[in-house]
A and B are shown apart, each in its own frame.
Chain A
Amino acid sequence: MASSEDRQIVFDNVSKSYGEVLGVNHVNLSLEPGITSLVGPNGAGKTTLMNLMTGLLRPSKGTVSVLGVSPSDPEVFYRNIGYCSQFEAFPRGLSGYQMVHSTLMLHGLSPQKAEERSWNVIERVGMTEAARRRVAGYSKGMRQRIRLALALAHDPKVLVLDEPLNGLDPMARNEAIELFRKFAESGMHVVISSHIMHEVDIISDRVVMMSGGYVVAEGDIQGVRHEMEEHPIQILIRCDRPGLIAANVFEQDSVVEARIHSDGLGLLVSTRDPDRFYDLLNRIILQHRISIEAVSPADENVHAVYQYLVGGNGMGTS
């Protein structure tokens, strides 16, 4: 029976500094399988964390293990990891197929086996027709697909993807997200760095928020948001009689604010106890037969949480 650490990515008090410049500091994380997004502005330490996770950097302090394996055992470690860097890093003159084929050979496959599997993974990312062409002639989206093929080729259990959706058209983007979901559902780790908050919200099972080299919050976004007691949760309600709801919500002490929209067809309620508020809202709606168009949390997303925690907008690609 595998221990829980054998299925986790574990950072144990990890610090990494570049001379006097701090990369990450005192990071303690245990990531479960699923999609994890790293969020933070430039210089927050996201790429450093990814580099530590993929063994490209060694920590100045602490230890990193991926599925129970340390980077000091590269043969096993790199069989588990597929890394897709944010850079358009392709040796000159090679075709997409040659890139994937060489990568598989670096993993120890014979040329024949590597060829067989190369075509398999190339087909998986929808690049069969263009695979014989030189990477230099590819569009940005095609390069992104080949990068993904390189990361996936040896069928890793942990996928680390730095800005994987950059340059993809909407259709390819949706396909990629769907692919990541399937990987996560199959029990894989998919660690993503993205500065597009909307995507992070859609994709992630959990987020790791970083600022100045520190992990400032970690977990599923609702969980993180609910822990922030100093910032009441905002709930958006679109309905036909917002004034009636506003008049009744203050019977709860936890409700701190109710603002009616200028169009008179909705209101924004701030509460410190959303569960109790939803019970109350149900009662008010039934009692007064109010017609409801939509009820949704207004700031239960990565962007809002990051703003509350750090004050910045969380955008960046570091």
Chain B
Amino acid sequence: MAVYKRTYTRYTGPLTDERWRFTILPRFMLKTVFSSRIALLALLIAMIPHLIALVLIYLRSHVDSLIALQLQDMAQELQYLNIDGRFFLVVFAFETFISFAIVAFLGPGLVSPDLSNNALPLYLSRPFSRAEYVMGKLSVLALLTSAVTWIPGLLLFFLQTVMTELSWATGNVRILAGIVVGSWIWILTTSMLALAMSAWVKWRTIATASLLGIYFVAAGFGTVTNEILNTGYGTVLNMASNMRMVWRWFFLGESVYRVEVGPSVTLPAWTGLAAMAVICSVALLLLAWKIRPAEVVR
């Protein structure tokens, strides 16, 4: 057999760590996101609650300076402001919705183009698994939502520690745990749900509408369920309420959640966590069903 003189030889050098190859997927996606002015502006707007909180924490620690600057009224108001679990609860209540809006805006465009273009074999005929594909897509949303949840949240926590003393931090470890763990619970649940929607609904607008539907319509349905069946368990259909249960447990140490709309009943805080786990599991199943390396033509 004639041997063709080859000039392009196989690469035999060192390979990158397999565990981090999923980070290749977000490279170009993040570049695209940051090249869009609207997306950039949305991200900046999303940081406003944390910026306000940052300023409040700073001013709260400099009340004397405010008085010196003849700003007595403001100083007086700030003296009543406690930087505690309730303060962080308010900040994160805003960020819960804002981060969901980011996920709803960007999530539906992540998987559906690959599916409608049959691009999955392109990724999966490489040393790259389905799990890594999902992780790669998930990391896009996780990175962006982290930038408006736990990362600035940690900054606030450390700023408050620096402004007061270490004992404040040691006395509020629960808040620290809430910022990190609570944020990740929300990030994972919403991102998984968005990816599942993106995998099942090929039209981006419909996928976004479906996500908003789950967020708002399911919440309304939950309230109606509570009213009709005179129960509080309809609340588990409300993603925001579920997350509120988790936040309250972390930030305020409340193990029981009082249902805000409908009959006056309480729910154990773990129901919120359990509901989020169920949403995550269902989303994972939907993704496993849809993310397949080869399109089966029947």
Please list the residues of chain A having a beta carbon within 8 angstroms of any beta carbon in chain B.
18, 21, 47, 51, 54-57, 74-75, 77-79, 81, 83, 85, 87-94, 98, 102-103, 105-110, 113, 117, 120-121, 124, 150, 152, 154-155, 182-183, 185-187, 318
Contacts and interface: CB of A to CB of B under 8 A. Distances in A.
A89 B2 contact: no
Nearest to B14: A110
Given A103-B126, A106-B24, A185-B1, 12 more contacts: A55-B125, A78-B126, A90-B122, A91-B114, A105-B24, A106-B126, A109-B16, A154-B10, A185-B3, A186-B3, A186-B6, A187-B3
Contacts, number: 121
Contact of A93 (B14, B28, B114, B298): B28
A85 B126 CA distance: 13
A40 to B, nearest CB: 14
A56 B298 contact: no
A56 B16 contact: no
Contacts of B4: 182-183, 185-186
A82 B23 CA distance: 22
A215 to B, nearest CB: 19
B28 A150 contact: no
Nearest to B113: A92
Interface stretch (B57-65, B170-178, B187-195, B289-297): B289-297
A314 to B, nearest CB: 18
B16 A108 contact: yes
Given A55-B125, A88-B117, A89-B119, A105 B28 contact: no
Contacts of B10: 79, 154-155
A141 to B, nearest CB: 18
B9 interface: yes
B268 interface: no
Given A54-B125, A105-B21, A113 B13 contact: yes
A74 B129 contact: yes
A155 B7 CA distance: 11
A155 B9 contact: yes
A154 B11 contact: yes
B18 interface: yes
A78 B125 contact: yes
A81 B125 CA distance: 8
A106 B123 contact: yes
Nearest to B123: A106
Interface string B117-132: 1111111111111000
A106 B128 contact: yes
B68 interface: no
B173 to A, nearest CB: 40
Interface string B129-145: 10000000000000000
B186 to A, nearest CB: 28
Contacts of A79: 10, 127
Contact of B121 (A85, A106, A318): A85
Contacts of A89: 114, 117-122
B15 interface: yes
B8 interface: yes
A121 B11 CA distance: 12
A318 B128 CA distance: 25
Contacts of A94: 28
Contacts of A54: 121, 125
B27 interface: yes
22 contacts: A21-B298, A56-B121, A56-B293, A77-B127, A78-B125, A79-B10, A81-B125, A85-B122, A87-B295, A88-B118, A89-B118, A91-B117, A91-B119, A92-B113, A92-B117, A105-B24, A106-B24, A107-B15, A107-B126, A109-B11, A187-B1, A318-B297
Interface string B272-298: 000000000000000000000111111
Given A102-B27, A155-B11, A185-B4, A107 B127 contact: yes
Given A55-B125, A57-B293, A109 B15 contact: yes
B294 A51 contact: yes
A102 B122 CA distance: 11
Contact of B16 (A92, A93, A110): A110
Nearest to A157: B10
A75 B127 contact: yes
Contacts of B128: 74, 106
B32 interface: yes
A202 to B, nearest CB: 18
Contacts of B6: 186
Nearest to B1: A185
A85 B24 contact: no
B18 A75 contact: yes
A108 B18 contact: yes
A182 B293 CA distance: 30
B21 A87 contact: no
Given A109-B16, A185-B3, A18 B296 contact: yes
A24 B27 CA distance: 39
Contacts of A113: 11, 13
Contacts of A75: 18, 127
A108 B118 contact: no
A88 B117 CA distance: 7
Contacts of B296: 18
A91 B123 CA distance: 10
A217 to B, nearest CB: 24
A103 B6 CA distance: 22
A193 to B, nearest CB: 14
A21 B298 CA distance: 7
Nearest to A33: B1
